[in-house]
Structure 1
Amino acid sequence: MAGCAAVVAVVLAAAVAGARAEGLVGVNWGTMATRRLPPKVMARLLKDNGFNKVKIFDADETTMMGLAGTGIETMIAVPNDMLAAVAADYRRAKDWVKMNVTKYDFHGGVNIKYVRGSRLLLTWSISSVFFLQLICVCDPSIRFVAIGNEPFLTAYNGTYDNVTVPALKNIQRALDEAGHGSAIKATVPVNADVYDSPASNPVPSAGKFRDDVAATITDMVGFLNHSGAPFSVNIYPFLSLYGNDDFPIDYAFFDGAPPKPVIDKGINYTNVFDANFDTLVSALDKIGFGTLPVIIGEVGWPTDGDKHATVPYAERFYAGLLKRLAARQGTPLRPHTHIEVYLFGLMDEDAKSVAPGNFERHWGIFTFDGRPKFPLDLRGNGRPVMPAGARGVQYLPRQWCVLNPNATNTTKIADNVAYACSRADCTPLGYACSCGALDAAKNASYAFNAYYQAQGQVPAACDFQGLAFITHKDVSQPPCNFSVQITETHATAVTTNTTAAADSSAPDATTTRVTVAMMMALLFVLVLT
């Protein structure tokens, strides 16, 4: 038996070491796309790149079944539009847990520990001697349930303020009663607009929760502390730069040499991420929960759609972030601390709302078809490499829809371009974007092709009142790529993503998120001047 115990110790130690090497960060998997890769292809993409944690914005059955057998720890979500019902009726909470959590739970064995997102179960087999087998559960490993997404945004005008915490409590109670509560925790992803520092003293130590939600947040935080769940927040340094040319660009990254750091009680803040995070820590401390664990539900950098949304900037941001996470650097108020982080996001999503800005469709570290954009140190070993691309991707025929150079009714071009761009993604055509240097004819061709590909290359989608024709010559003009879409068998209808940034039904909320970030950036600038 002592020998068996030694084997257990060795195997578990090896598993934990592997988890540290491959589980540096999680990632958000959004699905706001006109045509999507199959969930199994996506799940394999996650595994191939060492992601052991993923955050999704619903509990969609096809997505969940795609994750089945991978052992990837998953954060699922109760959407905002269900919060009132779940808050008012505990039976609805029980039903939701039954359909979206218990349904995927594996019964049997002894749940030892989560390692690399899988539950390791010990089972004994008897032959001539006893020996140990470690088996991996073949169901999705649900770790967190997100109660809404950014429900306290000011743009919602208090719509969810009175139902979010009751919904949180009902879901956690249902998880507990179903036997999941020790392993699965409910939390509420919030936007950084729930806390700030006063304009008269815009430093992290002055951080406090917004007056209109302070009592609600205090109640929520007390419950999270009691249940053992973390506080979840979304932080976007990119938004400090967006639309704010006065913001010092180096403060958005981790490797700059700021001419004048923000000094707060002897602490030098050299980047906006640390300042934002520690503003939250200060706000938590003021209500008596300064040591509550905090996870970053969303953080990232877009690669197109704005002059600051570029591949080099994204690579720079992630290089600094991942290096700090691997070193467990923490922040000034929480030094030498592991911060659990979910990158935003996995894939570009061409059907997201552009109300906050054209960059919203370009947050992915992979393109729409699973091609990596730049090297990343996802395993925390100090060696950035190009991530593994999606395998088994099938494309439509290599053909494009472009402006016919012999077209005579050119007065109709503008209207047809507008029509195409209202139904397909033309955000790369913007100023300082990847296709911003195209001439007028290429602009029209890009718009026509974007629509044609989104429609699955049906011939009728390449007419535009006789202005367009189909060509088999790739007309891409680097860095501008004229895409060929994936096949129909890999396409899925656009679904509603409940994040404020992705929900086309809530443009005001998304715009407010950007506005709040810009306001915080302006306060940060005031300290520097």
Structure 2
Amino acid sequence: MALFWVVLFSAVAAISSAEASLYNNGVCYGPSHNGVPDLAVAISHYRKFGLTRIRLMEYDEYDVGALHAMGFEVSFGVNNDELQTLASSYGAVEDWFEKKVENIIKYNYFVINYIVVGDEAIPGPLAQYVLPVVASLIRLFQSKNKPLIKVTAAVSPAVLSNLLPPSKAEFTTEIRNHMVPLVYTLAEWGFPLMIKVYPYKYYAAGLISKEFATFTARHRRPPVFQDGNLSYWNMFDVMVDSFLWAMEKEGVPNGGSIVVGETGWPSAGNGNFTTPKLARTYNQNFLNHITSKDGTPKRPYVINAGFVYSMFDDNLKPEGAEQHFGISNIDYKPAYHLVFPNASNIEAVNGGHRNT
């Protein structure tokens, strides 16, 4: 699982910018050489779900050209193996921009919202390169009068010292010198930090209940977890708020903000922890949750944005649950019934789902 890029609308889709704000949910697409269908072929499948937003985990000119012609919103970014080179000089970032982005933004109706710098590069040996690349990209887009292109970086909860209670969360001592200037820089420009949120992993490890993991404890009284005056009914909110607490403790302007770059639930591969029914329950509840105005206990009444991982199963991933995060199998058959709120056409997802 990896990166993400967010928004891009085509005149072909005839969708206004006011309408675009509603489309805050999308799906990740892995590279076709990793065992998923070629994007040019897969586009029609995305259309059946009424989707217009895709995060490309990897991409090439062919992929982008196909999406450009069909009016999709797109999120993509700088791969980990490019970080050190791009961090070496501003000129290296300019060269990357010309090769990877220039051909996209030359179309005035092809708008990129987010470029993601690195995938879990922090923590790790590449951590030192993330902020220089982020800063150079921001400088470059400002110089080219592209202020709507937002820059971010994708991280996992590995950057946090704590999750429960979320109010105790903070960036780990080992990576604090990398994370703090990064989130400050993003917040100063109004850009969110991109995070990975997988309650499934905590449930599969026996750390939380199924109900807390899948949003199905929401009517329970008292709440499943209480953190001071904040009540929690699902692990998703705990994970999001942990990042918000960590940024707030560092004095990040306006407390910072987040966008969910990846979340999902496998439909097979780990016994009763991974059934189509559980996968559907989590993903549908996640989509409903982020499109509501509920927000999180710490940041209520906020409509968040996020991507489900992923559109297709990937039979080249390690054996087990990792192969089965797809909403659909690689033969295009839906793994389960899923409806995307605010999607443009949801008719085709009402049939053909796997038995649960």
Q: Which amino acid aligns with 2:266?
A: P
Q: Give the 5 Å matches for 1:222-301.
A: 222-242=184-204, 244-245=205-206, 247-256=208-217, 257=220, 261-289=224-252, 291-301=255-265
Q: CA deviation at 1:364?
A: 0.8
Is the Cα–Cα contact under 8 Å of residues 49 and 348 in structure 2 kept in the other structure?
no
Is the Cα–Cα contact under 8 Å of residues 48 and 388 in structure 1 kept in the other structure?
no
Distance 1:143 1:280, change over 3 A: same
- The residue number in structure 2 matching 1:6 is none
- The residue number in structure 2 matching 1:306 is 270
- The residue number in structure 2 matching 1:64 is 64
- Structure 1 unaligned blocks of 5 or more: 1-12, 109-136, 391-477, 480-529
- The residue number in structure 1 matching 2:43 is 43
Q: Give the 5 Å matches for 1:55-454.
A: 55-106=55-106, 137=109, 140-153=110-123, 158-180=124-146, 182-197=147-162, 202-242=164-204, 244-245=205-206, 247-256=208-217, 257=220, 261-289=224-252, 291-307=255-271, 308-354=273-319, 358-380=320-342, 387=349
In 2, Cα distance between equivalents of 1:371 and 1:151: 34
Is the Cα–Cα contact under 8 Å of residues 314 and 330 in structure 2 kept in the other structure?
yes
Is the Cα–Cα contact under 8 Å of residues 264 and 309 in structure 2 kept in the other structure?
yes
Deviations 1:216-274 (A, max 9, x none): 111001111223321110010100122x2353221101112487621111222121111
Distance 1:281 1:74, change over 3 A: same
Deviations 1:394-429 (A, max 9, x none): xxxxxxxxxxxxxxxxxxxxxxxxxxxxxxxxxxxx
Distance 1:245 1:203, change over 3 A: closer
Q: CA deviation at 1:37?
A: 2.8
Q: CA deviation at 1:299?
A: 0.7
Is the Cα–Cα contact under 8 Å of residues 33 and 352 in structure 1 kept in the other structure?
no
In 2, Cα distance between equivalents of 1:179 and 1:234: 30
Deviations 1:6-60 (A, max 9, x none): xxxxxxx984675466x24111111265554332222232233222221112331
Distance 1:93 1:341, change over 3 A: same
Residue aligned with 1:349, SS: coil
Is the Cα–Cα contact under 8 Å of residues 204 and 278 in structure 1 kept in the other structure?
yes
- The residue number in structure 2 matching 1:29 is 29
Q: CA deviation at 1:384?
A: 8.2
In 2, Cα distance between equivalents of 1:236 and 1:385: 28
Residue aligned with 1:146, SS: strand
In 2, Cα distance between equivalents of 1:105 and 1:246: 45
Q: CA deviation at 1:335?
A: 0.7
Q: CA deviation at 1:87?
A: 0.3
Distance 1:188 1:281, change over 3 A: same
Q: CA deviation at 1:278?
A: 0.8
Is the Cα–Cα contact under 8 Å of residues 131 and 182 in structure 2 kept in the other structure?
yes
Residue aligned with 1:75, SS: strand
In 2, Cα distance between equivalents of 1:17 and 1:184: 17
After the TM superposition, list the runs of 4 or more consecutive aligned residues in structure 1 that deviate by more than 6 angstroms: none
Distance 1:92 1:251, change over 3 A: same
Deviations 1:365-409 (A, max 9, x none): 11112222222220359x98662899xxxxxxxxxxxxxxxxxxx
Is the Cα–Cα contact under 8 Å of residues 122 and 155 in structure 2 kept in the other structure?
yes
Identity %: 23
- The residue number in structure 2 matching 1:408 is none
Q: CA deviation at 1:301?
A: 0.7
TM-score, with normalisation over the residues of structure 1? Answer: 0.59
Q: Which amino acid aligns with 1:274?
A: D
RMSD over aligned CA atoms reads: 2.8
Residue aligned with 2:77, SS: strand
Is the Cα–Cα contact under 8 Å of residues 32 and 352 in structure 1 kept in the other structure?
no
Distance 1:168 1:14, change over 3 A: closer
Q: CA deviation at 1:279?
A: 1.0
In 1, Cα distance between equivalents of 2:159 and 2:316: 27
In 2, Cα distance between equivalents of 1:167 and 1:14: 32
In 2, Cα distance between equivalents of 1:335 and 1:319: 20
In 2, Cα distance between equivalents of 1:76 and 1:291: 25
Residue aligned with 1:55, SS: strand
Q: CA deviation at 1:210?
A: 1.0
Is the Cα–Cα contact under 8 Å of residues 250 and 258 in structure 1 kept in the other structure?
no
Residue aligned with 1:387, SS: helix
Distance 1:389 1:85, change over 3 A: farther
In 1, Cα distance between equivalents of 2:129 and 2:34: 32
